[in-house]
A and B are shown apart, each in its own frame.
Chain A
Amino acid sequence: MTSIDLPRRAVLGTAAGAVAAAALTGCGDSGDDHPAPRERKKGQKITLSFWSWVPGIDKPVDLWNRKNPEVQVTVEQVSAVDGEQYAKMHAAIKAGNPPDLGQVEFPVIPSFLLDNGLLDLAPLGAARHKDKFFGWQWRQSVFGKGIYAIPQASGPMGLFVRQDLFEKWDVPVPATWDAYEAAAKKIRKKGAWIETFSATNGNRLAGLAWQAGAKWYATKGDTWVISIDDEPTRKVADYWEALVRQKLIKTIPDRQNAWYKDLQTGAIPAWVGASWGDALLVGNAPGTKGKWRAAPLPQWKPGGRTFANWGGSTTAVFAKAPYPKDALDFAVWLNTDPESIALLINGGYGFPSAKKGYATGALDVDKAFFGGQEYSKIFADAGAHVDTSWQWGPGVDTLYQRLGDAFTDALGTGASFRSVLTKVQGQTIADLKGKGLKVESGT
Chain B
Amino acid sequence: MSRDTLSRPEPLARRAPDGARPARRGSRTEARNARAAAGFVLPFLALFALCFLAPIVYAVYQSLHKTERTGPLGLGGQEHEAFAGLANYTHALTDDQFLAGFGRVLLFGAVQVPLMIVLATALALLLESASARGIPFFRSAFFLPYGVPGVIASILWGFLYVPGISPLVKIAQSVGWDVDFLARGTVLWSIANIVTWQFTGYNMLVLIAQLKSVPEELYEAARIDGANAWQVARHVKLPLIRPALVLTGVFSIIGTLQLFAEPKVLRPLASSIDSGFTPNLHAYSEAFVGNNQHVAAAEAVLLALVACAASFVFLRLVGGRGKERG
Contacts A30-B77, A435-B67 known; A253 to B72 CB distance under 8 Å?
Answer: no
A87 within 8 A of B: yes
- Of chain A, the residue at the smallest CB distance from B79 is A116
Contacts A23-B75, A114-B74 known; A87 to B288 CB distance under 8 Å?
Answer: yes
B33 within 8 A of A: no
- Of chain B, the residue at the smallest CB distance from A111 is B291
CB-defined contacts of A146 to chain B, threshold 8 Å: 76
B219 within 8 A of A: no
Complex CA gap A67/B220 in Å reads 81
- Of chain A, the residue at the smallest CB distance from B286 is A398
B91 within 8 A of A: yes
Interface residues in B258-293 (C-beta closer than 8 Å to A): 267-276, 285, 287-293
Partner of A253, one of B159, B271, B291: B271
Contacting pair A411 B271 (CB below 8 A): yes
Complex CA gap A30/B80 in Å reads 11
Complex CA gap A145/B292 in Å reads 28
Contacting pair A409 B76 (CB below 8 A): no
Count of residues in B whose CB is under 8 Å from the partner chain:
39
Complex CA gap A86/B290 in Å reads 10
Contacting pair B291 A90 (CB below 8 A): yes
Interface residues in A395-442 (C-beta closer than 8 Å to B): 395, 397-398, 401, 404-405, 407-409, 411-412, 431, 434-438
Which of B68, B77, B184, B270 counts the most A-chain CB atoms under 10 A from its CB? B77
Complex CA gap A256/B162 in Å reads 10
Contacting pair A408 B164 (CB below 8 A): no
Contacting pair B73 A404 (CB below 8 A): no
CB-defined contacts of B163 to chain A, threshold 8 Å: 252, 258
B97 within 8 A of A: yes
Interface residues in B267-326 (C-beta closer than 8 Å to A): 267-276, 285, 287-293
Contacting pair B77 A253 (CB below 8 A): no
Contacting pair A437 B73 (CB below 8 A): yes
Interface residues in A368-418 (C-beta closer than 8 Å to B): 394-395, 397-398, 401, 404-405, 407-409, 411-412
Return B55 CB to nearest CB of chain A, in Å. Answer: 13
Interface residues in A261-287 (C-beta closer than 8 Å to B): 261-262, 265, 267
CB-defined contacts of A83 to chain B, threshold 8 Å: 289
A199 within 8 A of B: yes
Contacting pair B76 A116 (CB below 8 A): yes
Return A182 CB to nearest CB of chain B, in Å. Answer: 25
A75 within 8 A of B: no
Interface residues in A40-90 (C-beta closer than 8 Å to B): 81-83, 86-88, 90
Complex CA gap A411/B68 in Å reads 37
CB-defined contacts of B67 to chain A, threshold 8 Å: 435-436
CB-defined contacts of B68 to chain A, threshold 8 Å: 436
A174 within 8 A of B: no
Contacting pair A435 B69 (CB below 8 A): yes
Contacting pair B290 A401 (CB below 8 A): yes
B46 within 8 A of A: no
Contacts A253-B268, A261-B165 known; A27 to B70 CB distance under 8 Å?
Answer: yes
A24 within 8 A of B: yes
- Of chain B, the residue at the smallest CB distance from A109 is B75
Partner of B73, one of A20, A88, A116: A20
A134 within 8 A of B: no
B78 within 8 A of A: yes
Contacting pair A401 B275 (CB below 8 A): yes
CB-defined contacts of A199 to chain B, threshold 8 Å: 271
CB-defined contacts of B74 to chain A, threshold 8 Å: 23, 114, 224, 394, 435-438
CB-defined contacts of A86 to chain B, threshold 8 Å: 289
A97 within 8 A of B: no
4 closest residue pairs by CB, A with B: A222-B72, A87-B288, A412-B184, A436-B69
Write 9 A-B pairs (CB below 8 A) sorted by A numbering.
A26-B77, A91-B288, A113-B75, A199-B271, A256-B268, A256-B269, A394-B75, A397-B290, A436-B67
